[in-house]
Structure 1
């Protein structure tokens, strides 16, 4: 009697462990196709260029890393065409001394148009 009860208990546990996945899969597949999911917001062109570059190694949107945060840059420079050109030039040519002793490495492969898009996005983060 004890062996039968033990055997039935083992089978029940085995079926419970294995059987639950089939109903879970069908319910999860129906939830992933629901149209009520919020659409992902598209990144701005300058933000996308920054995400694809090595900028995130030294800069962060809100916090100082090796270089200043993007919000600190936006607070320091008004969004004028003159500043956009100046900062785009610094992205391409590099710079030193403005934010401390660590120089910003040049990014000569970034075009002037892309650097300006990046700069416009950074300056748009002004609080």
Structure 2
């Protein structure tokens, strides 16, 4: 008999005090969801304008092989952003010319950060400048006109 009275008291306490609190908390969550502004899509590519040259298919294929044998695919994908930017996004940003090919080759060798946010690219000091530039040519060959 005491247990039944105790259960009744607990149920009454729940209905009188806790249930309104739970309902109001749920209502607040719904209000917050409605008040949120849609998140802006930030364009992180920041395209650099300039004339572009063409890259011969044989050089692009050689660069693709070098990329496959290096550790590039641990952080990059061809079409989707992963840890680092997608190769296609890199191709969208930079014009295809000798200056940017040399710059990207140096970035592949020395590593760096800041160009694509806070992600740090590891250095690849065992690559030659020629191989790094060939890899950069492959990446820039993915540019879609």
| TM bucket, shorter chain | 0.5 to 0.7
Matched residue SS, 1:96: strand
1:75 aligns with 2:98: no
Q: 1:120 aligns with which of 137, 142, 145?
A: 137
> Partner residue of 1:22?
none
Moved over 3 A (4+): none
Shift of 1:99: 0.3
Shift of 1:102: 1.3
Gap regions ≥5 residues in structure 1: 1-41
* Structure 1 residues 9-66: Cα deviation after superposition (integer angstroms, max 9, x where no partner): xxxxxxxxxxxxxxxxxxxxxxxxxxxxxxxxx9810000000010000000000000
TM-score (norm 1): 0.66
More strand by share: 2
Report how many aligned residue pairs link the two structures.
86
TM-score (norm 2): 0.58
1:1-127 alignment runs, 5 A limit: 44-127=61-144
Over the aligned positions, Cα root-mean-square deviation in angstroms equals 1.3
